[in-house]
Amino acid sequence: MTATTINIDPVDVRSEAFADVMAEYPYPSEVDSLDELPRVVCVASDKGEPFTAQVIGYGSSYRANSHINHDPGTPLEKGERCSGCRWTDTAILRVKTGVEWSAEAGKYMEVAPPQYVLVTLGKTIVPGEQQREMIVWTMDAAEVLRKLFVPTKKHFQRDTAGKSIPPHNAVAFRDAACVDSAFAELLARYETVIPEIGERGVEADPLAGL
């Protein structure tokens, strides 16, 4: 089975259009192989060239109707958090860097290591605030794992040298491990510091580490 491409016009990974795509995208943990994940034509910067990728991990700390510390529609006090006003979306994309047709396998096979794109967006609807963005290109899955750690806050229960992986980042990483062997190997080695979460929309510190 060969992955299908679901769009023609590139979608910006920093946009709400990308979040809309993810609302309909299959969970990597619920497919049998990487080939079942659709390909998405994306851009990751204002001037960047389009690229085609599979989203192997996605998590969000957004919680609808969960305004805390203030009344909906009113400003937040300095230092206060609200997962209905501020949240983080994290996506891990996988880009093939080289393929060749394999007569033995009957399909195109990768002949070069894949490239990963980690997208972390600190989103906000608080007046006067702007979205915070981190986009990392790497061929090293371990670099993706390192970037998922953020400074530990008092409500995080797992602590690793002052940093931990918030739940929505753990969701993205664990999904990636279901379809990518490099992530699976890392999960086997470091599972004790990667929270096991049953939900994909989870409470977490919205803008930490961006």
pLDDT tens digits for range 115-148 = 999 999 998 877 777 889 999 999 999 999 999 9
| pTM for this predicted structure | 0.81
- Asked, for residue 200, whether it belongs to a domain, the answer is no
In the chain, the number of structural domains is 1
Chain segment 38-81, per-residue pLDDT in tens: 999 999 876 678 999 999 999 998 776 566 666 665 666 666 66
Rg (CA), the chain: 18
The residue range of the domain holding 151 is 11-193
| pLDDT (tens digit per residue) in 75-112 | 666 666 666 677 899 999 999 876 666 777 776 666 67
pLDDT above 60 for 26: yes
Q: Within a domain: residue 4?
A: no
Residue 97 in domain = yes
Element (H, E) at 123: strand 115-124
Predicted confidence at residue 203, as pLDDT, reads 45
Residue 15 maps to a domain: yes
Rounded Cα distance between 177 and 172, Å, is 9
Q: Is residue 1 part of a domain?
A: no
Whether residue 84 lies inside any domain: the answer is yes
Q: Is residue 205 part of a domain?
A: no
CA atoms within 13 A on the CB side of 2: 9
Closest CA to 143 of 182, 110, 174, 192: 182
In a domain, 27, yes or no: yes
